[in-house]
Amino acid sequence: MDAETLSRRTLRFVNVAHGLDHFVLLIYPTAVLAIATQTGLSYGELIGLATGAFVAFGLCSLPMGWLADRFGRRNLLAVFFFGYGLSCLGVASAASPTGFAVWLCVLGLASAIYHPVGSTMLVTHARRLGRDLGVNGVWGNAGAATASGVTALLAAGLGWQAAFIVPGLFCLAVGAAFLAMVPGDGEAGGGKAGGAPLIPVARPRPLLVVFAFAIIAGGMTFNITTIALPKVVDEGVGAALPLALIGSVATLVFAFGALTQLAMGRLIDRYSLPTLFLALSVLQPLGLGLAAASTGLPLLAGLVLTMAALYGQVVINDAMVARYVPAAYRARAYSVRYFLGFTVSGFVVPMIAVLHDRGGFGLVLGIAAGFGAVIVAAALGFFVLTRGPAPRPLVPAE
């Protein structure tokens, strides 16, 4: 197989994997509404069972870059597909809180593979970095957007178990096709990412610290908003809405993020990353603050603004790693990037349960707006630190 064909096929499966990663991880937050009705357990009790999944999602991402370098990115992505399929079937078979917690933890472990490995594969095979990152982001957003609606429809029509069984079987089928059609990793793109040269920086250590704060705070706002969204819509727009309609409204809110990702993908190929990051970061605290202080249509407007900013930031942050980190260290850099974002933010599940019981989703979203303000400060710091002169190239001694 020639390199061009391998790159095209790899990008297609990486995009599908991104969609599945976000879809499957967000089945439970919607299915829990139907599970609560059947089991009699409260929302807080059931959503807390997903803590292990989201902690494993972040914690286990750290070694994935090293494992990919050792065993091959293609092989690890195949484990992702089959791991997701089997864990979905396991959750569907759960009959007790312990069963839910164990299988959700396994699901989180499988989910941890995608971002460090898939992002590296994407950057390696990209032809235009911004465009391909934007398209990949839309696939991930589509997965998150359709998770609520599809889960609600399956749960309402066939029972909550079907909401896990159908995606599980699909993941297994995609995994088999991936192994058959993608024989290996392919060649890396040298020191470039999607044809774009690396950007030298004068102060790398302060830049890494500022970027770490942005990643951690962004992970908090991302997980708080995406996990709580179905219940926020349920309480804030109208408790009388049927489950299927709640899921559809949540899907519509997610869909607006796809537009931002396409736009960011195009803009990345044209404009400075620090400038784009700073401009986009302001939208998060604005949207979350509006959602926290309102109900009905203003709440939905705030959520739409928030989703646009959240998913736009994902594209920009991945582009930053691709443009500032040499190819030899990129897989491990993505591992650290997602470890910081997802491990800390994995603890938002019990935090949502506690805050919801004490002050409702007004308090939950208000706390998220505070993390959004941290992102603005980090983006400003990143902008300032990258304004300095680039380091001079080394000159051989005479």
Give the pLDDT score at 272. 85
Block residue for tokens 């190239």 = 393
Give the pLDDT score at 51. 77
Distance CA(55)–CA(350), nearest Å, equals 11
Residue 299: which residues within 8 A CB-CB, separation 6 or more? 232, 236, 237, 290, 291
Block residue for tokens 């959602």 = 291
pLDDT tens digits along 278-308 = 998 999 999 999 988 887 778 888 888 888 8
Distance CA(174)–CA(172), nearest Å, equals 6
Give the pLDDT score at 396. 44
Helix axes 330-345, 64-71, angle to 10 degrees: 150
pLDDT tens digits along 138-158 = 888 788 778 877 888 898 888
Give the pLDDT score at 397. 43
Torsion sign (Cα): 345, 346, 347, 353: positive
Give the pLDDT score at 189. 44
The amino acid sitting at 132 is D
Distance CA(197)–CA(141), nearest Å, equals 27
**How many Cα neighbours within 13 Å face the side chain of 306?**
33
pLDDT tens digits along 27-84 = 888 888 788 777 777 777 777 787 778 778 778 888 887 888 888 889 999 999 999 9
Block residue for tokens 């942050």 = 317
Helix axes 162-181, 3-25, angle to 10 degrees: 170
Q: How many CB atoms lie within 10 A of CB 179?
A: 15
Tell me, rounded to whole angstroms, the distance of Cα 337 from its chain centroid: 12
Measured in degrees and rounded to the nearest 5, phi and psi for residue 96 equal -150, 160
* Domain boundary assignment for the chain: 3-385
Average model confidence (pLDDT) for the chain?
A: 82
| Residue whose C-alpha is closest to residue 81's, from 181, 182, 169, 211 | 169
Measured in degrees and rounded to the nearest 5, phi and psi for residue 182 equal -120, 100
Read off the DSSP letter of residue 394: P
Give the pLDDT score at 196. 59
Give the pLDDT score at 250. 65
Residue 279: which residues within 8 A CB-CB, separation 6 or more? none
Q: How many CB atoms lie within 10 A of CB 195?
A: 11
Distance CA(110)–CA(107), nearest Å, equals 5
pLDDT tens digits along 344-377 = 766 777 888 888 888 887 888 899 999 999 999 9
Give the pLDDT score at 162. 92
Distance CA(132)–CA(129), nearest Å, equals 5
Q: By the 8 A CB rule, do 256 and 145 touch? A: no
CATH number for 3-385: choose from 3.40.50.300, 1.20.1250.20, 3.40.50.11270, 3.20.20.70: 1.20.1250.20
The tokens for 52 are 């292990």
Tell me, rounded to whole angstroms, the distance of Cα 259 from its chain centroid: 16
Distance CA(166)–CA(269), nearest Å, equals 38
Residue 393: which residues within 8 A CB-CB, separation 6 or more? none
Residue 397: which residues within 8 A CB-CB, separation 6 or more? none
Q: By the 8 A CB rule, do 108 and 301 touch? A: no
Question: Beta partners for 196?
Answer: 193
- Residue 394 pLDDT > 50, yes or no? no
Comparing 181 with 233, the larger pLDDT belongs to 181
Strand, coil or helix: 14? helix
**How many Cα neighbours within 13 Å face the side chain of 324?**
23
